[in-house]
Structure formats: structure tokens, C-alpha cells
Chain A
Amino acid sequence: MYGNDFSGEDPPGGLLGEVEAAEAALRAAAERGRAAAEPGADLAAYFAGIVDADQKVEPRDWMPEAYRRTLIRQIAQHAHSEIIGMQPEGNWISRAPSLKRKAILLAKVQDEAGHGLYLYAAAETLGISRDELVDLLLSGRQKYSSIFNYPTLSWADVGAIGWLVDGAAIVNQVPLCRCSYGPYARAMIRVCKEESFHQRQGYEILHTLAHGTPAQKEMAQDSVNRWWYPSLAMFGPPDGDSTHSAQSMAWKIKRFSNDELRQRFVDMCVGQAEVLGLTLPDPDLRWNEERQSYDFTQPDYDELMRVIKGNGPCNRQRMEHRRRAHREGAWVREAAAAYAAKHTEKEKVAA
């Protein structure tokens, strides 16, 4: 009951329906079943057949090594993003302006840790351990989403993260509910359902602020001004510069290009911003009758590359925070392992 008792308007254009359709398709695919590969069959052809028929590839199936590696990289980065993404919002838990908002925010950050855990579990089905993945994160060899390298400077940022950052994440992740790798698709369905709830909460925070005192409205507008472009950049570099796209599309890991998803996100946000009574910080944003979409100014991709390379406002802080928690918790993890070893030993002796 704690944390979800708000009332408020839903952001228009929610994507929950698409998640539910993906879930139904997943069930249908499971019911259709598929014949096991014959002994001596061409495994590559069998794999291609599964993907073509929109069936799911499962952990026990043969898969191309590059498919496995791509998925590990993508799922791990996604898991790392959930874990690092707890920090910018966690920054406001102690100062949340009402007890209700504090409860909602605590519940949300807790959900993110849960998402991280089930994504690590999905990655583990590909034959890598969580400890190895955490090590790849802490040593900087794997990345997390660039967005979490921006600071949360006001309470309204908690709302903007929910509305824009979680909104962009959902637009990105809803197609992944149909991804060809079963464990990832199933994880995404769970994640998207909760994310869409988070997005609604963020939208509601901004809605309250935008309809509050002049100072609150100003806080909300300032926050949207700062988070708009970093959110657009979350979709990655423009299609021409994207290295992983073509192969990922062929494998049905990715279903739409970066630019297609970015456009979908912009089209979704314009109407929502109008309902909020806030403006998006792009003077060239306008409806294009011919394309039936909004024209908009692209984010600064040089900035995106700087942030990805480690030179955004909070990269060092986020990594140091994560490393410190890991380092300072080492004696606790060692104690738990020692205790477990002793007590398994005792049980063995008793038995």
C-alpha cells in the first residue's frame, strides 16, 4: 500500500498496451512449441529458423558466439544502468518534500535494484556470472546509460527523470519485449510494466509542480530544460554512426533504429508537455504535416560521446560511489560467506 496511492492524470500515449501485446505474443510462441534440432542438423540454420519464425531462443539452444556476446554486453549494460541509475534519484530520498513522495521514491529506487537483479540473472543464462559483470562495471570496461551522469539539482529532477528518462527507457525497451532471446524478452516485460508506472509517477510530480506556486513551476521548467536533450541522447548516436544496429536487427534483438525510436519519443512527449503546461527547450520543434511527425533539433552528439567516454558531469562521482559501496561492503560479504561455509559444514556433520 505504501508508495502507490497517488491519483493523477496518466500521460497520454502510454505504451503499456504494447507490452501486453508482446506478452501475449510470447505466450502464443511458447504454445506453438517448436521441434528440437535433429541430431547432426545444421545448428546455424536451426537458429536462423527460430529467429525467422519469431520463436524464442532459450539458454540451452545453440547460438552464434557473436549473438551471445552482443546480448551479454547489452543486457549487462542495461543491468548496470539500473544499479547506477539508483544514485541520481536516491540523492533526493532524504529531502523528499512530503512523506507520501518519500515513500513513492523509496519504492521506485527499490524497484530499480530489483530490475538490476533480474537483468543480471538474464545475463547469467548466457554463461557469465554476476560477479564478473559487476567487475566489468567497476573496472570501467562495461558502460551504463549516459543519462545517469547528469546531476539531480532540484526535486523537480525526480519528476523529470520519471517522465523523460523512464519515458525514453520505455520507448527503447518496449520493442525488446519481442526480442528473440527469451530470458531477455521476459525480463523486459516485467521491467516495462514497472517502468511505465514510474513514468506516470514522474509525470504526476511535474504536473503538481507545474500547477503549484510560481517557484514550483519555475523549478519544473528548469528541470525539463536540463533533462530534455540528455533524454533524447539516450537513444544513442544517429543511425549513420551506430555500430551495432544492422546485425542486432537481423537477429531480432533490436527492432527499430535509434532515430526511429527517438522520433517516436519526441512525438509522444510534445502532447504530454502541453498537458503539463511546460515547454520543451527546442525553438525549432514543429509539426510536419507531410511526415506526420514533429521536426526537432537533434541532441549534441559530441556531448554524448564525451559523456560516454567518462567526461560527463557525474561520471567520476557515480563510479566512485559504486566502488566505495562495493569496497566498504567487502567484509560483510566475506562474513556471510564464512558463516554459510561454517553452517553447511555443521549441517553435514549433524546429518
Chain B
Amino acid sequence: MKGSFAFTLALGDDALIAAQRLAEWTTRAPEMEEDIALANIALDQLGAARLLLSYAGELEGAGRDEDALAYLRDDREFRNCLLVELPNGDFAVTMAKLLVLAAYQVPLYTALADSSDERLAAIGGKARKESAYHLDHASLWVRRLGDGTEESHRRMQAGIDQIWPYADELFVAWPDAPVDPATLRAAFDETVTTVLTEATLTVPEAGWSPTGGRDGLHTEHLSYLLAEMQVLHRAHPGARW
């Protein structure tokens, strides 16, 4: 049960922090259509986060609901991967992040849909359809930017280079989890390599691979993100909204 709780919490945190970052784009996107698309993806991630955090709270059995878990934990208690907490950067960095996240979430949720845990299976079944759309959206933009103008090619390559080191953390072995992420690496590599090649981009060399998110050891960015997300909730202890 302990493995299940930690795992569910980690996936819920990934989705929640990703939603928070994507939502920052609202009113700032390069096109009105893209404003809608990014808000849509943020909303999907938030929806998955709510289901996962609610279930994590039940697995823990300490009476914490989705809001207690989202608003009343500090950064040292968050279990999201470092990838999702990185700042948005320009549109290319955001699309690089989304490509990596979605290419990881699609096989993850697909495997989860076959999990023996019925609740996780139901969440996986719902979320994988949304993730497939996110992957499609990110892939399209990575191709457009990679194979667009010189400027967009340069920015897209820089975005991928900047984000790439953070992908390794997603696949660190977790043997007692309902789905061991290490088993998803091959599918991820195949998807991402295909997209980057079509986009006329270079797959970065392996090198530095920062980790720590799953143990609550984050980048300096997360604490600021939480300060903003939690400020109002924490200012009114016990209030209903």
C-alpha cells in the first residue's frame, strides 16, 4: 500500500504542477487558438491531478483530500518530477516540456489502465486519451517550430537541449510501484526520437541528469510556484470556497 500511495501522489503532483505552469500561458499565447489549446491541456492535467490526489488521500487514510494535499504541503513534501516545475521559458521550451511529459504520460497511463488496482486503472483509462491529444499537440508544434524558420529552429533546438536532461528522472526504476517507470523508457525514446527527427532537430547527447523530485528535493523554482498557488488558501485556514 505504501508504494501505491507514494506513486499515486507522485503522479498527482506531476499533473498538478504541470497544470499550474500551463495555466500561466492563459492570455499570453502566440495565437488565440493556442490560448484555448493550452488552457485545455492545463484543464486536463488538473482533472487528472484531482482524481489522483483524491485517491492518494484515500490510500493514505489520514483524512487529507485533494485540497489538503495541494495547498497544505510544502515543497519538501511534493513528489513531482523536476521537469514540470521548470519555468515556461519561451513557447519552444514549453513545447519541449510538453512533448517530454506527454511522451511519458501516454505509455504510463496506458500501462496504468491495465493495473490490478481498479481505481488507478480507471484513472489511467481516462487520462491516456487526454495525454494522446497532448502528445499530438506538442508533436505538431515541435515539427512546426523545428522545420519552420531559422529562428524557430534555433529556439526549438535550444528548448529541447535545455529540457532533455530532466527526462531521465521520469524513468528511474520504482520496482514496488503499480507501474515501474523504467519499463516505459523504450516507448518514450521511440516516440520522441521520431518527432525530433521529423522536426529536423538533433536528439541531445546523454549527460547531466538531475533527479530529486520524487524525494522532495526540488529546484529553486517549486517553492515560488507553491507560494503563489497556496497563498489564498493558507490565508484562510479551514474556510470553504
CB-based contact A334/B148 at 8 Å: yes
Evaluate whether A213 and B236 lie within 8 angstroms (CB atoms) in the complex, with A95-B231, A102-B46, A339-B144 already known: yes
By a CB distance below 8 angstroms, the chain B residues around A109 are 26-27, 39
Counting CB contacts under 8 A, is B155 at the interface?
yes
Residue on B with the closest CB to A341? Answer: B148
Counting CB contacts under 8 A, is A97 at the interface?
yes
Evaluate whether A99 and B147 lie within 8 angstroms (CB atoms) in the complex, with A93-B23, A94-B24, A325-B29 already known: no
CB distance from A328 to the nearest CB of B (A): 7
Counting CB contacts under 8 A, is B158 at the interface?
no
A residues touching B (Cβ–Cβ < 8 Å)?
A: 1-3, 83, 86-87, 90, 93-103, 106-107, 109-110, 113-114, 116-117, 155, 205, 208-209, 212-213, 215-216, 321-322, 324-325, 328-336, 338-340, 342
By a CB distance below 8 angstroms, the chain A residues around B40 are 110
Query: What are 24 residue pairs bridging A and B, where the CB atoms are less than 8 Å apart in the complex?
Result: A1-B47, A2-B50, A86-B26, A86-B27, A90-B26, A94-B20, A97-B236, A98-B241, A99-B53, A99-B66, A103-B43, A103-B50, A106-B26, A107-B43, A113-B35, A117-B33, A208-B241, A328-B90, A329-B29, A331-B151, A332-B34, A332-B145, A335-B149, A336-B148
CB-based contact B32/A83 at 8 Å: yes
By a CB distance below 8 angstroms, the chain B residues around A83 are 32
- Report how far A202 CA is from B27 CA in the complex, Å: 20
Counting CB contacts under 8 A, is B70 at the interface?
yes
CB-based contact B70/A99 at 8 Å: yes
CB-based contact B30/A333 at 8 Å: yes
By a CB distance below 8 angstroms, the chain B residues around A215 are 236, 239
Counting CB contacts under 8 A, is B99 at the interface?
no
Counting CB contacts under 8 A, is B91 at the interface?
yes
Counting CB contacts under 8 A, is B201 at the interface?
no
Counting CB contacts under 8 A, is B31 at the interface?
yes
- Mark interface residues in B62-85 (1 if CB within 8 Å of A CB, else 0): 000011001100000000000000
* Residue of B28, B145, B155 with most chain A CB atoms under a 10 A cut-off: B28
CB-based contact A2/B20 at 8 Å: no
- Report how far A244 CA is from B33 CA in the complex, Å: 32
Evaluate whether A338 and B241 lie within 8 angstroms (CB atoms) in the complex, with A86-B35, A94-B20, A99-B66 already known: no
CB-based contact A2/B35 at 8 Å: no
* Residue of B31, B90, B144, B147 with most chain A CB atoms under a 10 A cut-off: B144
Residue on B with the closest CB to A86? Answer: B27
